[in-house]
Structures are given as structure tokens and as C-alpha cells.
A and B are shown apart, each in its own frame.
Chain A
Amino acid sequence: MPPWLAYAASGVSLFAVGMSALVLHGEVMRKILAANVSASGVFLVLVALARRAPKGPPDPVPHALVLTGIVVSVSATALALALVRQLRHGAQLGPSDERRR
């Protein structure tokens, strides 16, 4: 088994672990972590596939795609966390406080 295949298998299992946790857990923070883990799995499969040629430099196009993907997933995580904080803020105030404002 070449090393890239080991990493690709690892990426596939990361995707599965993340996806099952995403469905299983009710907590929002844990769902965000799970989505990040399964995204890492997808990235790992892509970068592993770029390394299939036995010699020479790897394919730079999947690398560029993964670079873009990591940055986009940080944006999604930041937006999700802002929503979580807002949700908590609303829960702290409670419905009566909202009405009084």
C-alpha cells in the first residue's frame, strides 16, 4: 500500500467520524466541530490523491482547491460561532427582557 492510500483511507474515516457525530450530537458547538472534522477528511483525501504520481512534484491544482477550502471553512465556522454567541445572548436575556427593550 503506497503512503497516499493510507492518508486517503484516513481522510475517508475522518469524513465518516465527522458525519456521524454531526447527526448524533444535539449540541451546536459539537456540530460545528464535527463539520470541521469531516471537512478535514475531504481535504485529506484531495491532497492524498494529488500525491498519486510515484515521482516528481505533486499536482498543484488540488492543493490550491484545499487552500481555498480551508479559508472558506474558517469563514463558515466564524459565522456559525457568531450565531451561537447571539443565540446564547438571547437565551441569557430571556423573552421578557426582549419585550422590555
Chain B
Amino acid sequence: MIPPIDLLLATALPLIAWRVLATDELPTSVVLFIAFGLLSALAWARLDAPDVALVEAAVGTGLTGALLMSSLRSMERPRPPSPWRARAIALVAAAIAVALASVVALLPRGALGLGPAVLARSEESGVAQPVTAVLMNFRGHDTHLEMLVLLAASIGVLSIQHGTASHGVDTAPTSSVVMMLVELIVPALVVLAGYLVWRGSRAPGGAFQAGAILAGGAVLLLLTRRMAPLSLERQMVRMFLFAGPVLFFLVAAVPLGFGGDMLEYPRGWGGSLILGLESALTLSIATILTMFFPQGAPAPRRRG
């Protein structure tokens, strides 16, 4: 009854996750983790969640993988846990898994959830794509707070990294093949990001997918030293960083002055407001995600 691909994916995911966490070599773990992320993107696609699959592939796997790779130089010696402790923890975890699985199995089958409610009012939201309607209209305050979480995290990363900037990525002089590839890929990524924002109102896509893809391009440019490290001292960087959150705040607050509710879009304006907001959010998300990446040595410092 279950298609074989679903059965294969559902069994493979926990097995790979176990290998990720049980392998002795950390680099192997990180590569397995990236494989795990790509397979879970496949699982999202099988569960009819193409929006989630896009974000998983771009953010959850692509950027997280690059971040993990850049922090690999481990100085810790792995200490093998004592077999008794490992057995006890495995037993407790298995008990929790069985309990949770039985709760999930007892949930009502065929529940429609909030799907019909969203579809019934999607005309009013200004966008035809239900996930975008939920993110940008019905639960816009969630997305706004999410932007603030991103902003807070990027400020945190920047302030922690302040002293270690020169210990970031060491990139060897890149070969001309890599450079040519980057020159071909990055413009394509920019076009793809624009397309995803534009299509986001009608098809899977939107600010988060587009921002992540732009950030991927920016990381490539950083690694090949085609782009100077992002620093808050540059006005452009500050503008990009705050464009999304500030515009979101204005869109949220202005209706309050005219007797409306917070984040209430004027009738008929929903579609264009959402497109404008998503464009600004894309720039901010791309900048923030790029700032998460160690910015690398600005220039080889000469001493003496």
C-alpha cells in the first residue's frame, strides 16, 4: 500500500541520522549530514510540501552544510561513551520513541486541519499560493518575529566573531576552472532568486527560498574572494540588513493610524504589498545568512 520510495525514504532517514551521529570522523559526519538533508528534502517533496523542500535544500542542507564545513577544524578528542551509559540512554530513547509513535498513530485519520479555512479565504489574502498566504498575510506576525530572530542571531554571530575574523576560512588561490564556474553560476542564481520571489504568489517559492539562494551565491563569491567580507561599517550592508524588518514594521504599524488592525493590508493591495515586502525580505535574508558565514581573512596581515 505504501509506495516503495516512501518506505525506502522513511527507513533510510533514521538509519543515515544514526550513521551521522555514530561515525568517529567528524568530516564524514558532516558529509553524511548533507546527504541526510538532501534525502529529507525528497521526503518533503513526497509529502506534497514543495515550499519546505526548497527551503530544506537551500537553507537546511546547503547553508548549514557550508557552515558546518567551515567550522570543522576540531580540536576536541572524541571520548567514547561508556557502554553501560550508551545502553541506558538508547533504552530510554527507544521508550520515548515508542510512546510518541503510539500518540501519533492514535491521532484522528483524515483530519483536514486548517487547510479548508485557508483556501476559503485565500482570495482575500492577495496571493494564490496557500503557504505564502499563511506566511505573509494570515500569520504575518510570525514571519515578522522570525525576521527579528534572524537579525538577533546575525548580530550575535558578528559580535562573537569580532576577535576571530582573521581565523575564518583560509582559501587557497582558486583554479581558473572554479573561477569560471562561479562566474557562470552566480548570475544564474540571481535570476533564479528573482524568479522565486515573483512566482511566490502563485507557486512554491518566496522570500526565504530566494534569500537562501542569493546567500549561496554570496558565499561562493566570498570563498573565491570575488566579494569583500560583509562588514557593518559598509552603509550598503546596513541598508540591506534592515530593509526587510523595517519595511515589515511600517506595513504592520501604518494601519493602526487609520483605525485598522496591526498588519491589516488595505483591500485590493494585498498582492502588491506582499510582493514589495518579499523583495525587501529577500535582500535582508540573503545578507543575514551570508553574515552567518565566517567572513574569512580580509587581507593577509603583514607583520614586522
Among residues of A, the one whose C-beta sits closest to the C-beta of B96 is A16
How many A-B pairs fall under 8 Å by CB? 273
Within 8 A of B (CB), among A1-53: 1-10, 12-21, 23-30, 32-34, 36-37, 40-41, 43-45, 47-53
Measured CB to CB, the closest approach of chain B to A80, in angstroms, equals 9
Asked whether B46 lies within 8 Å of A3 as measured between CB atoms, the reply is: yes
Answer whether residue B6 sits at the interface, using C-beta atoms and an 8 A cutoff: yes
User: CB within 8 A of B43: which of A9, A44, A82, A88?
Assistant: A44
> In whole angstroms, what is the CA distance A16 to B89 when docked?
10
Asked whether A71 lies within 8 Å of B105 as measured between CB atoms, the reply is: no
Answer whether residue B172 sits at the interface, using C-beta atoms and an 8 A cutoff: no
Chain A hits for B110, CB < 8 A: 52-54
Chain B hits for A12, CB < 8 A: 97, 100-101, 104
Answer whether residue B44 sits at the interface, using C-beta atoms and an 8 A cutoff: yes
Asked whether B131 lies within 8 Å of A67 as measured between CB atoms, the reply is: yes
| Residue total for B at the interface (Cβ-Cβ under 8 A) | 98
A59-B114, A64-B139 are contacts. A71–B167 as well, Cβ < 8 Å?
A: no
> In whole angstroms, what is the CA distance A71 to B60 when docked?
8
Asked whether A74 lies within 8 Å of B289 as measured between CB atoms, the reply is: yes
> In whole angstroms, what is the CA distance A51 to B114 when docked?
12
Within 8 A of A (CB), among B60-114: 60, 63-64, 67-68, 70-76, 78-79, 81, 85-86, 89-90, 92-94, 96-97, 100-101, 104-105, 107-114
Chain A hits for B46, CB < 8 A: 3, 7
> In whole angstroms, what is the CA distance A75 to B211 when docked?
14
Asked whether A64 lies within 8 Å of B135 as measured between CB atoms, the reply is: yes
> In whole angstroms, what is the CA distance A79 to B3 when docked?
40
Chain B hits for A43, CB < 8 A: 52
Asked whether A75 lies within 8 Å of B111 as measured between CB atoms, the reply is: no
Asked whether B68 lies within 8 Å of A13 as measured between CB atoms, the reply is: no
Asked whether A19 lies within 8 Å of B115 as measured between CB atoms, the reply is: no
> In whole angstroms, what is the CA distance A71 to B95 when docked?
30
> In whole angstroms, what is the CA distance A91 to B100 when docked?
41
Asked whether B44 lies within 8 Å of A47 as measured between CB atoms, the reply is: yes
Chain A hits for B22, CB < 8 A: 21
Asked whether B157 lies within 8 Å of A19 as measured between CB atoms, the reply is: no
Contact with B along A57-86 (1 / 0, CB 8 A): 111111111111011111111110111111
A45-B104, A50-B49 are contacts. A33–B134 as well, Cβ < 8 Å?
A: no
User: CB within 8 A of A18: which of B17, B52, B85, B104?
Assistant: B17
Answer whether residue A89 sits at the interface, using C-beta atoms and an 8 A cutoff: yes
Within 8 A of A (CB), among B108-126: 108-115, 118-119
Interface residues of A (CB under 8 A from B): 1-10, 12-21, 23-30, 32-34, 36-37, 40-41, 43-45, 47-54, 56-68, 70-79, 81-86, 88-89, 91-92
Besides A47-B52, A71-B285, 20 other A-B contacts (C-beta < 8 A): A10-B43, A13-B101, A16-B97, A16-B100, A21-B21, A24-B89, A27-B78, A37-B33, A47-B44, A49-B104, A53-B112, A62-B113, A63-B134, A66-B52, A67-B51, A71-B150, A72-B149, A79-B156, A84-B71, A86-B163
